[in-house]
Amino acid sequence: MRVFDLGRRHGPMLAFGGPYSNLHALRAMRGLARAESFDKKSVICTGDVVAYGSQPRECVAEMRRWGITCVAGNCELQLAAGADSCGCGFTAGSLCDALSAGWYSYANDTLTEVERTWMAACPDLVVFTMGGRRHIVLHGGASAVAEFLWHDSPVSAFAQEVAMLEDVLGGPVDAVIAGHSGVPFRRRVAGVDWINAGVIGMPAHDGTPATRFAVIHPNGDVDQRELLYDAQAAHDHMVAKGLTQGYHTALLSGWWPSEDILPHSLRRIQGAAE
């Protein structure tokens, strides 16, 4: 694993995941960070800069201009390698799997070697110390970049990930900041504070177009916050580019076009068949 050490941080850290090729959301996130005086060393992205939306090259360009640290998500790894699928961890034959073919091929056809080279340089893990606690930032999990962990995943699943991180890093871990699943949560498990910062490029399947990010404080407090941006403009740009598989309407409705990746507790009709 490629590990990047940010060293000791003294002020709060802003963490967000999944811009997902949604330039309107990414620019809103950057504007908020500027307004709240977060410098580029105090902001970190958990990966998947490029995914469902219609402005993949523009999002990479915005990230490069901003100059913040970004861990490698499955999309960075797959697109950098020129792979033929997103590597998102969707079940073969599921609706999520079928829908991914459309947006991934669009992104793969759009990106140039400039963007792929930037993606290939993203670290797998980022480490920093704040408030005397060792924080690790990753995309999905240590066992797999596209590992799905939810608020109600088994304790054993988190314990396995923490043990692998401690083995890789050669020492204890106090907090993990992750992304990938798209739904923010915070859970104290296996002796570690596991924080999913959420994603900014797509709503958290909660019926509102607002997306999510997190601010982590030196005293251990975590603010899980909403990001408001021009979702209508992002939707209209997707339509103009022909990306109308359902994720465009999710930007406005707040509901994903498929629930087959979600645990039953997060589905609109709980207990619905997979």
pLDDT of residue 85: 87
- Report, as ranges of residue numbers, the positions in the chain whose pLDDT lies below 70: 95, 97, 269-274
Q: Please give the structure tokens belonging to residue 105.
A: 């091929």
Pairing of strands 125-130, 133-137: antiparallel
pLDDT of residue 97: 67
Q: Which residues pair with 129 in a beta bridge?
A: 8, 134
pLDDT tens figures, 235-259: 999 999 999 999 999 999 999 999 9
**Whole-prediction pTM:** 0.94
Q: How many degrees, rounded to 5, is the angle at CA 262 between CA 256 and CA 264?
A: 120
Exposure letters 113-145 (e unless 16+ CB within 10 A, then b): eebbebbeebbbbbbbebbebbbbbbbbbbeeb
Q: How many whole angstroms separate alpha carbon 61 and alpha carbon 96?
A: 27
